[in-house]
Structure 1
Amino acid sequence: MTEEFITCDLTCSSPSADSEETLKLVKTADMECEQPIFSVLSDGVKQQKEAGDTSTSTTTNNTATDAESGIFSGECELCVEHETELDWFCGTELKLICSHCAIVGPCHGHTVTPLATRVTAVRNQLVDVCEKIQLQALRIERFIDQTLTAKEQKLQTAASTAREQGSGSDQRSTRGTGRGGAASLGGGAEGGGAGGAVSPHPESSLEPGFGEVEETEGVGEPCDTEQLNLNPACSDSKLLRSLWATAVLLGPNAYGSSNLKFDERTVSPLLSLSDDFCTLTFVHKKIRQSPPYDPARFDCWPNALGSVPMSSGTHSWVVDVGQSAAFKVGVCYSSLERKGSGNEARLGYNSQSWVLSHYDGDYSFCHAGKKVPLQVVKRPQRIGLLLDWLSQTLMFYEPDSSAVLYSITHHFSAPLLLACAVTDRSITILH
């Protein structure tokens, strides 16, 4: 479909004294671009002598054709150096030039093409590209109709199965227990999705023309990407994990056990603990008091740990962070270092702690000194945590919208404790 570019080899010797006169004749000659430029010039001079005014009318017709194509405006561009019309294209420097530039100017010896020929070739290339884009658009529409619709039905089936299995043994309640429901939902979502496959729409249900899309070079079939990978058989599917978490959080244990509190022995001197052992408040330097020495207490970092170790089952809890501008919430091993100002006792900066951190408006997940920036649309007033020991999954979420902020799967080798830190205002465990 696309015309090949027609190039003209410029192989002239040094310009003669009559070059100016020759160039004037070129401007009025009928140039055949299939010949070397000096052959064109010779033919043009010969035709000029034989045909007289005939060549003038020919040039006028060529200009009219270019104007009708919409490429040229009423006023042609001129070469700055030679003040003549830019009617050639230099393929070496990729710019418009005049005939003077091609023969005696800076583009002497370059590969040049008549501008009209270049315009036609580029136009044909654009037509090819547009046709390929249109064909790919038809393929995408067919892909959406055949594939994504079936996936949506699979997800609806998986969600319905998860809700049914999450109801638990108590028939008087429409919500399942937090621990039993979570365990069954994890397997139910995967099993239900794998068994409830929905076949794609038959070809006859597609719009007319979808089955007649022809093959073309450079256009491939649409396929699943990482963002669209909704395979129900995948045990690490982000979508299924979110469905499972949502089902668990609908249960009565969404706020965790009422026994979850802060361990008074671990509270840093930089913090004060409320009478119900649920609220940590950052204490300004002037009113700080030195608590008695305890090997379990953090002495430099403003940290505190939970009182209940977790090494089995499923646990969820919510921390009210309010308007605090600097806090950390997460989990850690009980063997975490408590003394000193090194990273060994700093939450998120060692291999024994996993926390969501908020500081100066930025949210991030921190572990082993590495930060993963988090995109948080709306500043949450509460941070939820969901720990499933069976699948070794830790999830941070926003309770009001159930939006997952971050999720990690890690082989936890020892019991975990709630771990928090705050250096602005206070945070509270909710029940």
Structure 2
Amino acid sequence: MSEEPQTCELTCGTSADPEPGQDTADTVRAPDMDMDCEQPIFSALSGDVSTRSGAPVVGATSSATTSDTESGIFSGESELCVEHESELDWFCSTEQKLICSHCAIVGSCHGHTVTPLASRVAAVRVSALTGIKPQLICSRAAASGAREQVLAQVSAVRDALEEEEQRLLEEVHTEEERVEQCLLTQKAHWSQALTKLSQTRSRLVHTLTHTPDAQLAVRNGEIVMVEEAEGVGEPCDTEQLNLNPGCSDSKLLRGLWASAVLQGPNANLKFDERTVSPLLSLSEDLYTLTFLPKKARQSPPYDPARFDSWPNALGSLSMSSGTHSWVIDVGQSGAFKVGVCYASVERKGSGNEARLGYNTQSWVLSHYDGDFSFCHAGKNVPLQVVRRPRSIGLLVDWPSQTLLFYEPDSSAVLHSVTHPFSAPLLPAFAVADRSITIMARLRKPPLYFIQQLRYLSS
């Protein structure tokens, strides 16, 4: 609770003793007569009485001044009333200003509600400090509420993940049971077929053994046409044995496939210096492309292989067989393209024929203004990317006519496309912000390893 300020009405005092029970520390009253401005004014804090004759009585100290000086409110000499040249040791609540005792008695604030300065200061301090406590309580309550909200959200996410995990485990268990039952069914099927084949063979052996030669010569055609055992045929999948069709297009498997390709021996892949646009700068080692500001651009010698309007460049190695994979460090670039194109792609002009992803001869993954998309023949397919990759891997598998974009760190597939490529492919790049760098050189893994992965993913 805030301390209520003491309110006093000042009048000229007399030599008469105060009435019994009257508080001389805060209130001084005088009979209705001419007031002598030099009458003593009683201190409101300590009750000490001091007389004023233009200066304080020797030995008498204003408790208000002492208290305020000790508390740091005043520094140096106290301010004086301009009208009465007396110390401003009272506060007028009516006019909200500091006054002297003469102002309260005979001055402009006569009859107003006045309070000793020390009491007013104490009340303000108490009020301010009391107001801080509710604010602290509100802040703590808000922080506690926010913490509980975050914990509730985390708990909800945890519960959702646990439910999803349980659901997936149940699906896996169901699939395991189904496949196991399918295998048992197939085993019984082939067991019966084997028994029938054995019986047919026994009959054939008996016929060949016990039939006279003359009859064998006549019945040759009948013997060769052996009755096929019921249910026996070439081994193949059945409806009961087929697995989930989605397994043939598993992004996880394709990502592992792409990562495995990188484990093969190195083959040199660099940017082809002849194709680099004048809008780009190529490092001396031919592994980094950097977008140039206008003032830093120079006109390179004319070359029919060079892109002259779009910030494009091509790789140095042609691909028309086998399986190949490489990784591009895209860093913080906000605008780039990575992919493949035919060697016959247009190099000159600002039309779509020379713009990667906007013609039928190029396939690229594009990043611009925070969005990722796959571009081919002028059509953009938006891609959902959980986090912005710092590097992008590409895989070209010529036998299966597959182009794959993936994130090497997590083996997450960003996009894959199957297309009947009709001509050799070249790595294709475009940069319109900062730099990109070839990290992993083109790699060719062992043929047997790729054949196994290709079989699993097809």
Q: TM-score range by the shorter chain?
A: 0.3 to 0.5
TM-score of the superposed pair, with normalisation by structure 1? 0.47
TM-score of the superposed pair, with normalisation by structure 2? 0.44
* Structure number with larger C-alpha Rg: 2
